Amino acid sequence: MDEAFEIEAQALAQVLDELDYFQVLKIGQNASPPEIKSAYYRASRAYHPDRFSTLPAGELKDNIGRIYKRINEAYVCLRDDTKRTKYLADVLGPERQKKLRFVEASEQELKKEKEQEVGATPQGRKFYMAGLADMAAQRFAGAERNSRWRSPTSRTIPTSRRSGTRQAS
């Protein structure tokens, strides 16, 4: 292995935790999918651990391993349009430093989010769906009423009408 590469790898390992995925793959934030793929292949040719399988265990080998894992992590995120859009918003936002590594919401969190959105109880979800239908049919008064009913925690629900939701919760 040449010395220049070793210096580059050690330097990259130093700053790895300050780089976003675009920087890890050395591409622009608007790179196209084929550009992402070829950047990933280029990075793989340079940092794939198989290239260093005969290298003795030590700091350099560990660092190369750490870099390559981050390259894979970057690729997994950026090759997926949905993840990439969310990630880009994250790193352009005020919390950039905290969001350099993409973390998907867990299934439980997603479930919770969905519940918050569409109502936590079966009855609540029914009202939500009815609300959507009202909206589609442009019956806005009905839509508003149904949307208020979707969650037992909605504070706008008149107390006299709460019995229906209480049963469902």
Q: d(Cα 87, Cα 96) in Å, to the nearest integer?
A: 10
Which H/E stretch holds residue 3? helix 3-15
Q: Which of 5, 14, 26, 49 binds another protein (CB under 8 A)?
A: 49
Stretch that binds another protein, among 70-78, 87-95, 128-136, 147-155 (CB under 8 A): 70-78
For another protein, give the closer residue by CB, 1 or 7: 1
From 6-14, 39-47, 119-127, 147-155, give the range in contact with another protein by CB under 8 A: 39-47
Which residue's CB is nearer to another protein, number 10 or number 38?
Answer: 38
Nearer residue to another protein within complex by CB, 41 or 140: 41
Cα dist. 83→21, 87, 137, 141, 155 in Å? 12, 6, 33, 36, 34
Could you report how far apart the first and last alpha carbons of the chain are, in Å?
A: 65
Would you count residue 51 as binding another protein (CB under 8 A)?
A: yes
Which ranges constitute the DSSP H helices of 19-154? 21-24, 33-47, 59-78, 81-92, 107-118, 122-136, 140-149
In the shown chain, the binding pattern of residues 79 to 108 toward another protein, with x for contact by CB under 8 A and - for none, equals: -------------------------x-xxx
Please tell me whether residue 69 binds another protein under the rule CB under 8 A. Answer: yes
CA–CA separation, 145 and 131 (whole Å): 8
138 scored as a contact of another protein (CB under 8 A): no
Please classify residue 9 by burial: count the beta carbons closer than 10 Å to its beta carbon, then call 0-12 exposed, 13-18 middle and 19+ buried.
Answer: buried
Residues near another protein (CB under 8 A) are: 1, 38, 41, 44-45, 48-51, 53-54, 65, 68-69, 72-73, 75-76, 104, 106-108
